Amino acid sequence: MSTPKLTNEIVAAAIAGFEQQKRQIDTQIAELRAWLSGASTEPAAAPGQPIKRGRRKMSAATRKAMADGQRRRWAAAKGAATAPEAPAKLKRKLSTAGRKAIVAALKKRWAAKRAAE
């Protein structure tokens, strides 16, 4: 009879299973101790595990008020922090004479290229 080889996955699964059994046993022990002392049967939070809390529920009006307040704070912070901006540069326009000069240069260039072929 051959013995199966223990792979890392099998060992990890075994550890996870034993830890789950340990948590169940700890919960049952806590319930029994609470029953003996007459306290609540709710399991106490494990010392190593963080306590999960639900999300706070807020009304739509409260969320709106908070958002408005944040917008006001941002506006005040941005208004105080911004330096006066330089005037925007005007866009340059191409004159008709400049456009004609460019067109003439391109025509001359293409004519030279065609002549070279």
Q: Global pTM?
A: 0.29
CB 34 within 8 A of CB 40: yes
Task: Name the pLDDT band for 82 (thresholds 50, 70, 90).
Answer: low
Which residues touch 112 (CB under 8 Å, ≥6 apart)? none
Rounded CA gap, 42 and 30, in Å?
A: 9
Quick one: DSSP state of residue 58?
Answer: -
Over residues 20-43, the mean pLDDT reads: 83
Torsion angle in degrees (nearest 10) through CA of 19, 24, 30, 31: 180
Task: Name the pLDDT band for 115 (thresholds 50, 70, 90).
Answer: very high
> For the chain, what percent of residues have pLDDT higher than 90?
46
Rounded CA gap, 6 and 23, in Å?
A: 25
Quick one: DSSP state of residue 57?
Answer: P
